[in-house]
Structure formats: C-alpha cells, structure tokens
C-alpha cells in the first residue's frame, strides 16, 4: 500500500474545510532546520540533498520531499507500507515540526493521540480495515 501525506503548518484548524479562501499555510522553516528536526526523531534518516530524504523501517519506507523552496512550505511524505510503527512515526514527525498531517486519501488531517500505556502516537480517527483504500 502506498499513500501520500503532507505535513504543514495549520495550527488552529480542525479540518482542511476550515481554511479561508486563498489561505496558505505558513512555512515550516528553513530546509536545514526542518531536516534537523526530522533527524531528532529519526536519527537514521538519510537526506542526500536538501530536497529529498528517505527512511526505511520494518516493512515500510517513507520518502521525505521538501522540494526546492526556501523556506520549506511543507513536507510531502510518500509512505510505502502500513502498520502501527509507521503511524507512530508520522505522528512523531508532525509533532516535531509542529505541523498537521494531511492524508490525501481521506482528504483531511490525521488526528493523533498518545497511547497512555505505550507512549506511541495512535491515529485516533483511523478508518477500520476495509473502509477505504489509499491510492496506490
């Protein structure tokens, strides 16, 4: 399974439907600072250029695209694979960047909470298996 998520600065909005017409998210910061924050969460994150990096986990991979813009307006995540670990990492990187995670398959923000027992980020509004299928 593959899916696309955008990390963006959208504090104060509960849904993308709340964006005023013509609104643009504030930049996340200089690309070097964004990469530094990402590496605090994922120390083995590989960024050969300022535009794109990658992370490989057990049964999944994530490509991080910052693009050519300075400062970085958003981070595009190309996620291949599924599981609790990948969801936890998406929650952690969103938190580190003080960003919201927009799931393009659902068309709205992912809402996370931390599990009290494990400390992991859990996707609070995750659809049940079989409810939806993200684009491949």
Q: Of all residues in the chain, what percent are helix, strand and coil, respectively (each to 5)?
A: 20, 30, 50
102 neighbors 16 (Cβ within 8 angstroms): yes
**Domain 2-123 top-level CATH class:** alpha beta
12-61 tens-digit pLDDT: 888 888 888 998 899 999 999 999 999 999 999 999 999 999 999 988 99
Spell out the domain ranges in the chain. 2-123
| Nearest-angstrom CA–CA distance, 5 and 36 | 20
85-96 tens-digit pLDDT: 888 899 899 999
The pTM assigned to this predicted structure is 0.81
Q: How many CB atoms lie within 10 A of CB 103?
A: 22
């Amino acid at each position: 399974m593959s899916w696309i998520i955008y990390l963006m600065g959208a504090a104060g909005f509960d849904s993308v439907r709340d964006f005023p017409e013509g609104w643009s998210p504030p930049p996340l910061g200089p690309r070097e600072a964004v990469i530094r924050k990402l590496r605090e969460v994922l120390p083995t994150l590989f960024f050969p250029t300022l535009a794109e990096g990658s992370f490989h986990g057990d049964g999944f991979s994530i490509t991080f695209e910052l693009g050519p813009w300075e400062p970085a307006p958003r981070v595009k995540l190309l996620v291949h694979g599924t599981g609790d670990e990948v969801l936890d990492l998406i929650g952690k990187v969103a938190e580190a960047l003080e960003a919201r995670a927009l799931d393009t398959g659902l068309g709205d923000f992912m809402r996370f909470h931390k599990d009290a027992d494990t400390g992991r980020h859990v996707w609070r509004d995750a659809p049940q298996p079989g409810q939806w299928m993200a684009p491949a």
